[in-house]
Amino acid sequence: MSVVVVGSVALDSVETPFGKMVDAIGGSATYFSIAGCRFSDINLVGIVGSDFPKLGLELFKSKKINIDGLEIVEGKTFRWGGRYKQNMNERDTIFTELNVFEKFQPKLPDLYKNSDIIFLGNIHPELQLDVLEQMNNKPLVILDTMNLWIELSREKLIEVINKSDVIIINEDEVRQLMGNSDVYKSANKMLNTLNPKILIIKKGKNGAILYHNDKMFILPSYPIDEVIDPTGAGDSFAGGFVAYLDSLNKKNLTFTDYKMAMVNGTIMASFLVESFSIHRLERVTDTEIQNRTKSLIDLISI
């Protein structure tokens, strides 16, 4: 089994109360892949400029992440700069330089087209639709999005939502999409009007909520004493979540499968936030993952 992920591969410059880093490897597809490769085979689709560090490409290869679908073109890589406030809950975007990402036209290598699961990272809904059409079989479609597309491309976004099996969205985004100030009300409105089969609301350090048919599951985040940099937490959650599902190698995924996928996603995000960029996440051992997974299950069990 394998997962296709399409999203950004970027160079991030981030400032938090703990320090500052410049041009570190980031982007939604990167965080997703580095988390997901612990569970399953990842086929990455993205674009970088000729300035993208060799070390980055080697990192993907060393993790056995397939980057046949990562286009390398003349020019500069997508860059994002942000600054977190003291409480780490809010951040300001300092700059966004799309660079080569502006011309991104995802092309799936033939090998990718038979994957069983596809994760549509937070790129333009037009591109997400375009990627979907390139798949041969009918994969499980898992969708992420962001405030920008809710604002600028609402109709297209709803078109992608209609073609997706699982929607992953954060609490601000679901409120924005549904025009309601309450998370639960917004989620219910989304379930009733857009009819996703499975909906996941990410609440950052306050955990995540899963809606599966008529049922709900609420999971807290794993307690971390010192969050160093939350950039990419949502994407590494998605990576752990999706790739864990893929690793089950099942046609009919159950409510419990999705719950356990949330646990695995939560654990991957918990490692991600313990350092800048992917430094901690890429080094975490299988034993550390297993121990923390067991520990989270203990933490929520009566």
Positions that interact with a copy of itself (CB under 8 A): 86-87, 181-182, 184-185, 188, 203, 206-207, 209, 216-220, 223-227, 256, 259-260, 263, 297, 299-300, 302
When the beta carbons of 87 and 137 are compared against a copy of itself, the nearer one is 87
- We find the least distance from the C-beta atom of residue 127 to a copy of itself, in angstroms, to be 33
Residue linked to tokens 């419990």: 256
Residues contacting residue 74 through CB under 8 Å, at least 6 positions apart: 49, 50
When the beta carbons of 111 and 297 are compared against a copy of itself, the nearer one is 297
Rounded to an integer, what distance in angstroms lies between the CA atom of residue 73 and that of residue 75? 6
When the beta carbons of 82 and 207 are compared against a copy of itself, the nearer one is 207
When the beta carbons of 38 and 175 are compared against a copy of itself, the nearer one is 175
When the beta carbons of 55 and 302 are compared against a copy of itself, the nearer one is 302
